[in-house]
Structure 1
Amino acid sequence: MSALHLSRFSSLRAFGHRDFVHVWSGALVSNIGTWMETLALGVFVTTVTGRAEATGGIAALTFLPGVVLAPVSGVLADRFDRRAFVAAGMLAQAVLAAVLTLLAFTGRLTVPAVAVLSLLNGCASSLVNPAFAALISRSVPPEDLHSAFSLNSAQYNLGRIVGPALGAGVMATHGIAWALAVNTLSFVAVLWALWRVRPQPPAAHERQEALGQGLMRGLRVSREDATLWMLLVTAFAVSLFVSPFIGLVPVFAIRVFHEGAAATSFLVAAQGVGAVLAAVLIGPLVTRLGRRRLLEVCLVFIGPVAAVYWMAPTLHTAALAMVGLGALYMATLTSLNTACQLRVPTALQGRVSGVYSMMVAVGYAVGVWLQGALADRVGVRLITAGSALFFLALVLTQRLWRPEAFAATEPTRAAEPLAAPAPSPQLEGGAEF
């Protein structure tokens, strides 16, 4: 598609950049495999244990390492060639996927083994995510960054649509081991795509900066910029109160609707459909409403729509609500991620992405485990819907006390003094669920 043709569709402009196309296509294939594994392991743990706390706990383990590793990885992403850094992390994840596959084929797959490997996979993912977000930021000019993040979320959610459906089919015909095997093979695509991307070496002063100094600099910038800090805290709140709907899908399908892998796949795919629709529409919406207004609308509506999903009386009603929830969730995180990246210069994007990823990881790890544990004791619907409505109350309170809180998200880039090295000193946008 020509650059002129792409210019008519603001949501697709990032496809006019060669490196972004390579990263996008390779990540799509890999994410299809990842969602096959996510479905397989979620159904496996829920079926074996029968406990929402166990399912939520496994999901939390994948994000828990981000609490410590994400800020460090953000610094590393700004010190090394981001392409090579991401490739090394993907290779580590491929090895872990191969171990899971081997255990499944030999009949030795257990819940403790899944827990340990999920934790290790979380370590690798936490190291990769900020560098991947920064890799995308460098692959397009600033004016196409919202398009790039929207399309990146779209490919992730296309994987969410195709992967679970393919995974459910493979599990039904060949068993869990083959679903895990396909995921292992899918890493070849993203490694091949990264090999075709141009190197992204850091600036000379970034290589010379001490690791601790770089870490403190990123934390200082994140904390002292009031708008950036508000965006990071908002990402934490979304992850704590709303995001657990992702990890608890198997619990909802199996315990509430008394279905299995097919119903889980159906709900996950519905979220993906909503997210893809949002990715196509978000460019025109940003043009019409502006980044600030779009973010505010998403924050007001995501809680009520999540509550409608959790209280849905039938599986098909839940899937319909999930389409809307998937669209709002994608638009919310993309808006937060883009705003955070545009608040800082290129040299600090990896670090800010690391801090953002840390906030998301803390919120999601605590939220998915705690909501799962409380669901076992009080009931799935009451806890999850109540959490979503509590988030709405927080948003309305913030709107009442600080109506102009996100006004500064409209400028495209922070002033240059923010980029200057400081004597003392992201993840935000790195992790897309």
Structure 2
Amino acid sequence: MSTTKSSGSSFAPLAQPVFAVLWAATVLGNTGSFMRDVASSWLMTDLSASPAAVALVQAAGTLPIFLLAIPAGVLTDILDRRKFLIAVQILLASVSVSLMILANTGMLSVSALIGLTFLGGIGAALMGPTWQAIVPELVKRDDVKNAVALNSLGINIARSIGPAAGGLLLAAFGAGVTYGADVASYFIVIAALVWWPRAKNANDALAEGFFGAFRAGLRYTRASKPLHVVLLRAAIFFAFASAIWALLPLVARELLGGDAGFYGILLGAVGAGAIGGALLMPKLRERFNADGLLLGAAVITALVMGALSLAPPKWVAIIVLLFLGGAWITALTTLNGAAQAVLPNWVRGRG
């Protein structure tokens, strides 16, 4: 896995208006999503103190990504990507409206929370490949890697703001208001997508059916050895690192003795660390190749998990999660950039 340097500044893609508008809208949309996730994870600790039940919230949100990754990529490659994204935003808004109503009426149960989180995970699974696939349509070819890094930076800006804001809203006004703020964020994203002046011929000329495209994606993936390397390393890193996200609500509440606001601060620390990591990425790429960056990210993540297991003081937990954020975005942008570099447009969503 190798890297190449972009000829432009790390922030050069923001000089292109369409990318800048969609990027800003997604930052706001992701901020709302993180607010929703904080409310859901914390509410589950109220509904059930079982570690398995708390972890189920994370599992319900991420399982659809595992189950629907390739079908979502197929839909990304054969449908109009803008219309598809708008439909997914409507689905996600409906999920948050349902959560808001149930929370306000006191009818939210463990099963309802997990079920609606699963539906939200379906939306995230459908949306993820599409957002990544439209990047080359929004920026010049030389700016693709910087745009990918900026997308990751935007997610982590949202991660630094959303959880803290969600925790404060949850503590001050309750879950209904927190979910309502998430609903409002989806309307902003929909408005930006409607405004996007996408070229009518942006889709590839080769029209494919769903099952034919599905098989073609599998054939390409089986044949692409460079993509095998990216997928294997991503699977190893994220399978184990995801334990932090699954159990962090219990770590914050039971192990560290914090409240909803403190849980939001912990997640915010991850986001802040990711922002710092993103800003350092250009210099890190000058000193280390992709293998070195990924190895460093894995070592730091392992050390953070070990530190949290020792029930450190709250201020220590915040500091180590800053390092986790930097390691997470390093791994994410390194693997994502490598995948974008080896995938042709016709199979990019599936890849």
Aligned length: 344
Judge conservation of contact 1:82–1:199 (CA < 8 Å) in 2: no
Equivalent residue of 1:65, what SS? helix
Aligned to 1:402: none
Judge conservation of contact 1:270–1:322 (CA < 8 Å) in 2: yes
Aligned to 1:280: 279
Judge conservation of contact 1:78–1:350 (CA < 8 Å) in 2: yes
- Whole-angstrom CA distance in 1 between matches of 2:264 and 2:67: 32
Residues 1:55 and 2:54 aligned together: yes
Judge conservation of contact 2:31–2:158 (CA < 8 Å) in 1: yes
Aligned to 1:171: 170
Map 1:243-322 onto structure 2 (within 5 A).
Answer: 243-311=242-310, 313-322=312-321
How far is the alpha carbon of 1:292 from its aligned partner? 4.2
Aligned to 1:185: 184
How far is the alpha carbon of 1:187 from its aligned partner? 0.6
TM-score by length of 1: 0.76
Q: Deviations over 1:192-225 (max 9, x none)?
A: 11122232531121x2x22222112212222222
- Whole-angstrom CA distance in 2 between matches of 1:142 and 1:288: 24
How far is the alpha carbon of 1:312 from its aligned partner? 5.1
Aligned to 2:204: 203
Judge conservation of contact 2:157–2:275 (CA < 8 Å) in 1: yes
Code of the residue aligned with 1:32 in structure 2: it is T
How far is the alpha carbon of 1:245 from its aligned partner? 0.8
Q: Deviations over 1:278-335 (max 9, x none)?
A: 1112123224434444334333443234323443521110110100111011110111
Judge conservation of contact 1:33–1:182 (CA < 8 Å) in 2: yes
- Whole-angstrom CA distance in 2 between matches of 1:17 and 1:291: 27
Change (3 A) 1:347 1:8: closer
Judge conservation of contact 2:300–2:324 (CA < 8 Å) in 1: no
- Whole-angstrom CA distance in 1 between matches of 2:279 and 2:123: 30
Judge conservation of contact 2:23–2:151 (CA < 8 Å) in 1: yes
- Whole-angstrom CA distance in 2 between matches of 1:137 and 1:216: 24
How far is the alpha carbon of 1:348 from its aligned partner? 1.5
Equivalent residue of 1:78, what SS? helix
Aligned to 2:3: none
- Whole-angstrom CA distance in 1 between matches of 2:34 and 2:245: 12
Equivalent residue of 2:198, what SS? coil
Code of the residue aligned with 1:127 in structure 2: it is L
Judge conservation of contact 1:11–1:281 (CA < 8 Å) in 2: no
- Whole-angstrom CA distance in 2 between matches of 1:9 and 1:218: 32
Aligned to 2:220: 221
Change (3 A) 1:9 1:210: closer
Equivalent residue of 1:109, what SS? coil
Judge conservation of contact 2:8–2:142 (CA < 8 Å) in 1: no
Judge conservation of contact 1:11–1:279 (CA < 8 Å) in 2: no
Residues 1:135 and 2:143 aligned together: no
Map 1:28-427 onto structure 2 (within 5 A).
Answer: 28-199=27-198, 201-205=202-206, 207=207, 209-311=208-310, 313-352=312-351
- Whole-angstrom CA distance in 2 between matches of 1:147 and 1:292: 19
Map 1:11-26 onto structure 2 (within 5 A).
Answer: 11-26=10-25
Moved more, 302-311 or 179-188: 302-311
Code of the residue aligned with 1:108 in structure 2: it is M
- Whole-angstrom CA distance in 2 between matches of 1:92 and 1:174: 25
Q: Which runs of 5+ in 1 are unaligned?
A: 1-6, 353-433
Code of the residue aligned with 1:72 in structure 2: it is P
- Whole-angstrom CA distance in 2 between matches of 1:344 and 1:323: 32
Moved more, 235-244 or 196-205: 196-205
Code of the residue aligned with 1:202 in structure 2: it is N
Q: What percentage of aligned pairs have identical amino acids?
A: 29
Code of the residue aligned with 1:281 in structure 2: it is L
Change (3 A) 1:317 1:300: closer
Judge conservation of contact 1:36–1:166 (CA < 8 Å) in 2: yes
- Whole-angstrom CA distance in 2 between matches of 1:141 and 1:124: 28
- Whole-angstrom CA distance in 1 between matches of 2:94 and 2:40: 17
RMSD: 1.8
TM-score by length of 2: 0.93
Code of the residue aligned with 2:246 in structure 1: it is G
Code of the residue aligned with 1:327 in structure 2: it is G
How far is the alpha carbon of 1:113 from its aligned partner? 0.8
Moved more, 127-136 or 64-73: 64-73
Q: Deviations over 1:356-375 (max 9, x none)?
A: xxxxxxxxxxxxxxxxxxxx
Code of the residue aligned with 2:266 in structure 1: it is L
